[in-house]
C-alpha cells in the first residue's frame, strides 16, 4: 500500500468568501421562490427548465462543476422522483415523451441556507428546515434539455480529499476546549459503532449536553463557512437539518478502524464530517493520524484502497470531508496513559434535510 506524498487537503479557505456568500444568499432567495405555492407548479417547472437550457452552453461552473447539474440540484431539492418527472413533463415542449423523464432517485441534494441561519438564533441542531418542491418559472418558450441522470451525478469514486484549516479557534477558545475535557473527565463514556462490532473502535466520548455554550459557538462557525467548504470539496451546498457533535479522547492503544460516517440507515443523512483537533502542549502522544481513503461508493465499506492521505492531527486545526469517504484513526501511543495527555477532538456531522 502506498500513500500519497502530499495530501489533497486545502490548507486554507478560498479567498473568495464574499463571492461564495453572495452565491449562497442567491440560492436561498431562489429556494424561497421555488417554495412559494402561489406560483403554479407548471410555471415553476418552466423557469427551472429555462435555467437548464441556459446553463447547457456553459462548459463548467465554479470549481469545475457543471451549472446544469447545479440547476438540476435546485429542481430536485426536497422532491421525490415522481414530482420531478411530473414537473419535467409539464414544462417540456415534447410533453409526455418518455425521454424527457429524469432517472434515478439517489440522495436529494439541497440548497444552502446556512448563510442566513448563521446570523440568527434557531433551535438546537436546526439550520433551516425548509424544503423545496417542483421547479421554477420563466418564459413559455423555454427549451428543455435532456435531464441529467441523478445516478450519474453521484460518481462512484470519491478522491481522498479534505479541507484543513489551521488556527481554527482563538488561543482562548482552544484552551477552553481543553478545560471542558479536563473538568468533565469522569463523564466520558466508552465509544461504540452503529453496527456494535467488537473491538472496532477504542476511545471515550463526552456528549455535547455537557458543553452547550461551546457547542453553539462551534456550530455557528461551521454553518457560516459551510458554503465555502462545500465549494472547496467540489460539492454543492445543502440544507442543514442538524449539527451533531461529540468530544472524543484517544489515549494509549486507541483507534477507529476503516469506516464511513453515512453507511447505515441511521446515519444516511450525514453529508459533511468535521474534526477539530486539540491537545495539551507539549504533545505527549504519537500516532493518531486520520487516514482518508479513495472511496468506491459501490465497493466494500471496510476495505482499504491503495490511494489514501494521512492527515496529521495538529493542535487547533479543523478538518472537513465528505461523510461517504472511508477513513480511519490510526492507533495512538501515549506512554504516560494520563487522560490529560490524550489526543482530543470535537467531531461530528452536518446532516441534510
CB 239 within 8 A of CB 112: yes
Within this chain, do residues 148 and 164 fall inside the same structural domain, yes or no?
no
Say if 326 falls within a structural domain.
yes
**Do 215 and 135 share a structural domain?**
no
What is the chain's pLDDT, residue by residue, as a tens digit (353 residues)?
Answer: 444 444 455 544 445 555 666 666 666 666 666 666 666 666 666 666 655 555 554 444 444 444 444 444 444 443 334 443 444 344 333 333 333 333 333 332 332 333 333 333 333 333 333 332 333 333 333 344 444 444 444 458 999 999 999 999 999 999 999 999 999 999 999 998 877 788 899 999 999 999 999 999 999 999 999 999 999 999 989 999 999 999 999 999 999 999 999 999 999 999 999 999 999 999 999 999 999 999 998 888 788 889 999 999 999 999 999 999 999 999 999 999 999 999 999 999 999 99
Q: Give residues with Cβ within 8 angstroms of 323, minimum separation 6.
A: 260, 261, 262, 267, 270, 271, 272, 273, 349
Indicate whether 92 and 182 sit together in one domain.
Answer: no
Domain count, the chain: 2
The reply to whether 317 and 175 lie within a common domain is yes
Closest CA to 160 of 325, 337, 18: 325
Do 278 and 243 fall within a single domain?
A: yes
Are 30 and 111 in contact by the 8 Å Cβ rule? The answer is yes
Question: Where is 26: in which H helix or E strand?
Answer: helix 17-34
Kindly give the interhelix angle for 67-76 and 41-55, rounded to the nearest 10 degrees: 170
- On whether residue 331 sits in a domain, the answer given is yes
186 plus 71 within the same structural domain: no
pLDDT confidence of residue 44: 61
Within this chain, do residues 195 and 97 fall inside the same structural domain, yes or no?
A: no
CA distances in angstroms from 41 to 9, 22, 47, 83, listed in the order given: 42, 27, 10, 10
Give me the CATH number covering residue 202: 2.60.120.620
Residue 113 falls inside a structural domain: no
For residues 143 and 67, state if they share a domain: yes
* 284 and 237 within one domain: yes
Is 8 among the domain residues? no
User: Whole domain around residue 103: which residue ranges?
Assistant: 17-108+131-154
Amino acid at each position: 500500500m502506498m500513500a500519497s506524498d502530499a495530501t489533497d487537503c486545502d490548507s486554507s479557505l478560498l479567498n473568495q468568501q464574499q463571492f461564495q456568500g453572495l452565491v449562497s444568499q442567491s440560492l436561498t432567495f431562489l429556494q424561497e421562490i421555488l417554495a412559494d405555492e402561489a406560483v403554479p407548479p407548471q410555471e415553476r417547472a418552466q423557469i427551472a427548465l429555462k435555467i437548464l437550457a441556459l446553463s447547457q452552453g456553459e462548459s463548467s461552473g465554479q470549481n469545475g462543476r457543471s451549472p446544469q447539474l447545479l440547476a438540476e440540484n435546485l429542481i430536485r431539492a426536497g422532491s421525490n422522483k415522481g414530482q420531478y418527472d411530473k414537473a419535467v413533463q409539464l414544462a417540456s415542449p415534447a410533453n409526455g415523451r418518455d425521454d424527457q423523464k429524469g432517472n434515478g432517485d439517489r440522495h436529494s441534494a439541497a440548497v444552502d441556507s446556512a448563510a442566513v441561519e448563521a446570523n440568527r438564533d434557531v433551535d438546537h441542531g436546526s439550520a433551516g428546515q425548509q424544503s423545496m418542491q417542483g421547479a421554477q418559472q420563466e418564459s413559455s418558450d423555454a427549451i428543455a434539455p435532456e435531464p441529467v441522470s441523478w445516478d450519474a451525478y453521484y460518481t462512484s469514486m470519491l478522491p481522498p480529499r479534505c479541507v484543513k484549516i489551521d488556527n481554527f479557534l482563538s488561543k482562548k477558545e482552544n484552551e477552553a476546549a481543553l478545560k471542558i475535557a479536563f473538568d468533565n473527565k469522569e463523564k466520558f463514556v466508552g465509544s461504540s459503532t452503529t453496527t456494535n462490532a467488537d473491538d472496532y473502535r477504542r476511545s471515550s466520548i463526552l456528549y455535547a449536553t455537557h458543553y452547550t455554550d461551546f457547542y453553539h459557538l462551534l456550530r455557528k462557525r461551521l454553518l457560516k463557512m459551510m458554503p465555502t467548504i462545500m465549494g472547496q470539496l467540489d460539492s454543492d451546498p445543502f440544507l442543514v437539518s442538524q449539527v451533531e457533535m461529540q468530544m472524543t479522547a484517544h489515549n494509549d492503544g486507541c483507534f477507529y478502524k476503516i469506516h464511513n460516517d453515512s453507511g447505515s440507515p441511521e446515519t444516511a443523512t450525514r453529508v459533511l464530517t468535521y474534526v477539530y483537533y486539540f491537545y495539551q502542549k507539549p504533545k505527549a502522544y504519537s500516532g493518531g493520524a486520520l487516514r482518508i481513503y479513495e472511496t468506491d461508493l459501490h465497493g466494500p465499506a471496510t476495505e482499504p484502497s491503495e490511494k489514501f492521505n494521512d492527515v496529521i492531527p495538529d493542535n487547533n486545526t479543523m478538518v472537513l470531508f465528505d461523510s461517504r469517504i472511508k477513513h480511519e484513526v490510526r492507533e495512538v501511543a501515549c506512554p504516560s496513559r494520563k487522560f490529560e495527555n490524550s489526543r482530543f477532538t470535537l467531531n461530528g456531522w452536518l446532516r441534510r434535510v
